[in-house]
Structure 1
Amino acid sequence: MINESVLLESRTLRTSVLERTEALDKVKALSLLPDGLHVTTAMVATFYEVAETAIRQLVQRHRDELAGNGMAVLRGSELRDFESDNLSLSKRRSLTIYSRRTVLNVGMLLRDSEVARQVRTHLLDSEYEVRTRPVDNSIHRLRRDEFDERIDSRITDVLGKTVVPMLNVLIETSGEQRHELISLREDVQQIQQRLVEHDLQLSRLQRGQDVKALTGVIGTIDAMTWKEFEQHVAGLLRRDGCTDVELYGRHGGDRGVDITARTADGRVVAVQCKNFAPFRHVLSGEMQKFLGASKVLRQADVALYVATCAFTRESLAIAALGGVTAVHRGLLEAWSAGVRLQVLR
């Protein structure tokens, strides 16, 4: 099993386990801002039981990595909108906010914190459990090429997430064996590349398309274009039994509604889709516009405002009064992962 200290040294290994934010909850409760998605620098420091200066110094050293994993610095109108919904107004010029992924990322970098050490331990325990879980006995029923693809994927995963990161750490700390270790790492990476190419060839033959890298649910959604996001939501509606699903597109005369459908029991569904940045909020004016489009123009029985971010308090109040279901970032993640929306049942 990998020692938890390896996470401190290998960015590749840290990136490979960033979706396992449940490791935070196994150690202690993480208090979130009212949007249910973010925390401040002070809140991160409180969680890890260190001084705020320790978090700020860590951010300075690893800003690119943390920014790529959910940290954002808000200024100007974005800061005013965010603070009006989450914090008491102040005269600060900027505010750094962190997602749960970023908080986990901090825990994998923070050396002088017992809480961070426990998070790393839980994180690697979970990863080890997944890697050592017995293989399903039904695998012998797979066709030979499917079996090869499974094996290629598992070996590639182990090489990329475990072997290469461990070699990187050893190379950085070794003396006499440095050249031998570098040569070994190059051999491993060549094997990994060949396995990836083989896996892609099999996948193209079987499915007629390239294989996309496996990522977390919300990470996959964040990478979508607006059109892909609308198609994703349409697919969720179909999965949950809706029929007559129709997409209007950004320039298709949607009149404030991106998707219409019917539930299994015949109710009319109207949907607005917004793939905003995670730190943005759906504002009250945007909710009012959709309320009029869905309830007045479309006369929808079910109105869904689906967004990749949070909603302001005012927009949620308007949604509640008008009978609109606000599908925020957290609910979207659960819906995408298989949970059925209550309003569609």
Structure 2
Amino acid sequence: MINESVLLESRTLRTSVLERTHVLDKVKTLSLLPDGLHVTTAMVAAYYEVSIQVMDALVFDHRDELSANGYQVLTGAELTYFKQVSGLSNRAAAIALYSRRTVLNVGMLLRDSKIARQVRTYLLDAEYEVRTRPVDNSVHSPRWDELDERVDSRITDVLGKTVVPMLNVLIETSGEQRRELISLREGVEQIQMKLVEHDLQISRLQRGQDVRALTGVIGTIDAMTWKEFELHVAGLLRRDGCTDVEVYGGHGGDRGVDITARTADGRSVAVQCKNFAPFRHVLSGEMQKFLGSSKVLHQADVALYVATCAFTREALAIAAQGGVTAVHRGLLEAWSAGVQLQVLRSF
């Protein structure tokens, strides 16, 4: 699993989790500009509870990375247009804007911010959950601990997006009750933070109680060469009852697939194997290429894209539309540990 120190040091790893901007709202409410998309340097500093000077230093050190993920400075005509379309009233000659993606990027770079550490904790928990999610396509009722987590998340969301903003408005317009309202707002924010801490504790406890049957499996897979990985997948197919398993090994004649086989009930199988680094993602273009090879050229009944990493959202959407089973890192780990893929089971 990715740990916090590696996340702080590796730009590649940070980039691999930047789509998970929802973790920002799980930790604390992020106030947005009137356009609903951007925030200023001051707003980011307020979110992470650091000074403007800290933010300026961070941007100076990591401007290229932040710019690649949405950071921009508007001046002149661009700034004038932005003020018009967003309703922003600001007389500054330039304004730095951050998207939610950039704000998350900042959270993976700030070392000494308590809020940033909580954001990184949620990111790591989400990464762990994706990797270890069990194979189950059936509909099931939520467990009580899942319901508890949803309730905590919902309460935190209501406090941050409804109660606190309402109190802010009252404070700005109040007279005699201003001090009492400020005290009430501080109390609400303390409750919000306690709920966040409780959510983190529950997540860690559940992680500690997980069955460790998969321990070491994915590490062994990561150490394989691409050829060993293809043979490993072929062995899993045979274990699950497939016959006529043929590994092409990249020597041509495979017409875009690495392995072909037949399920126990006679369906044709086409497999693509990708032994990528854990932080890599299978892209939509790669999925489209395999979809054409497996379904058009091979006319396979079962198409498996097996990867040692995750898939982008677009790649997963293409897989779902085209009937490809995307075997991501977590699913591969479970399959290797003895769980049979549902798509290979006989009807």
TM-score range, shorter chain: 0.3 to 0.5
TM-score (norm 2): 0.45
- Greater Rg over alpha carbons, structure: 2
